[in-house]
Structure 1
């Protein structure tokens, strides 16, 4: 049974969603205060964290930022704030998905299952994508698949699970254009709907972490109307 820590201060919403998910083989533990969430993560060791944004003690965006370096599992924002800016900021801070509370429960369940499936695939991906000893080397960039570690100029580059998966996918197809459709199917387990900009946000975040200029990228390029390209020679 998968364990979810749901940080939500409205008891009615908390119990409603927890009841629905519990009927589908998910254990939901509710924490009502943001300033207690970090301690509860250490205590209950969840597989996924579901975060509201407006919380007493500490807001969900700050929590997402603080949790990301220390929690490798999916972080999903569940909020009533239908705001592009909040969605972009959440994804920039390391959230894996942004879901509105008005989303029908079956759709919420499906999207959480996608996150669990992606997490399971991420564990298996390095072994399936390459022999256990394989490391990808592009000049000063080294990507160690089995160890899920990245170094640039000899310095470790800390990446979230989803950021590493994206880099690994691009690196395994270095020199080839990866379309959004292919990336969404491989990394998210669903088709690209033509509107979701979360992959663009993830690419932008990855560029910053790898020292690529977001305004004029040379290492991970955007190929207009086609997708993204990791340039092998750009890391020399």
Structure 2
């Protein structure tokens, strides 16, 4: 049974989310503040985290950043704040989705199922030699590791997925809408601005000069292209 952690300081909301997720066949734990949530993540194996933005002890954005240092699993932000800047910050710190309260519990369950399915699909074991090598950039798909020369760089789930997709389709221009649909698979449930944020983060990690990228190029007015 797949296990989910809800980090939410409003117990009534957390229990509602838990009830719907348990009906859908998930095992669910609840943490009522950021610190207890982080402790639970360190001690348990979860397949997905539902993370409130406004939390006591450790706020949602700070907690998202800390989780990303230790876990490579989907993180769905659940919050009453519908500000674009908060969304950009959340995606930049490694969140995979952003759900605004009030929301439909059925939609929440659908998003959870979609993210777990997509994550598992990308994590299916490949052949041992399934590696992409472009100049000094090495991508090991089976182990989901990325190297620049001999130095390993650490990417979030979606950063890795986006980099791999572009790398296996070199010299092809993809619009932000195309990339969002192909990588997130939730074209009706999100914002293509997250693609821009993720490309920026990838460049910061793999490019020697992010302002003049050698791997992921911006094609103005069209989208992005990976230089093969």
Q: Distance in 2 between matches of 1:190 and 1:82?
A: 18
TM-score (normalizing by structure 2): 0.92
TM-score (normalizing by structure 1): 0.89
SS where residue 69 of structure 1 aligns? Answer: helix
- Offset from partner CA, 1:48-89 (integer Å, 9 cap, x none): 111111111111111001110111110111011111111111
In structure 2, relative to structure 1, the CA distance for the partners of 1:191 and 1:35 (3 Å cut) is: closer
Asked whether the equivalents of residues 114 and 188 of structure 1 are also in contact (C-alpha less than 8 Å), the reply is no
* CA RMSD between the two structures: 2.0
Which segment drifts farther, 18-27 or 3-12? 18-27
Do structure 1's residue 14 and structure 2's residue 10 form an aligned pair? no
1:149 to 142, 145, 149: 145
Q: Per-residue deviation at 1:216?
A: 4.5
Asked whether the equivalents of residues 207 and 213 of structure 2 are also in contact (C-alpha less than 8 Å), the reply is no
List structure 1 segments (4+ residues) > 3 angstroms apart after TM superposition.
179-182, 190-195, 212-218
Unaligned runs of 5+ in 2: none
Q: Distance in 1 between matches of 2:141 and 2:115?
A: 20
Alignment correspondent of 1:5: 5
Q: Per-residue deviation at 1:33?
A: 1.4
Q: Distance in 2 between matches of 1:221 and 1:13?
A: 43
Alignment correspondent of 1:97: 97
Alignment correspondent of 1:68: 68
Asked whether the equivalents of residues 177 and 192 of structure 2 are also in contact (C-alpha less than 8 Å), the reply is no
In structure 2, relative to structure 1, the CA distance for the partners of 1:193 and 1:94 (3 Å cut) is: closer
Unaligned runs of 5+ in 1: none
Q: Per-residue deviation at 1:178?
A: 2.5
Alignment correspondent of 1:113: 113
Alignment correspondent of 1:51: 51
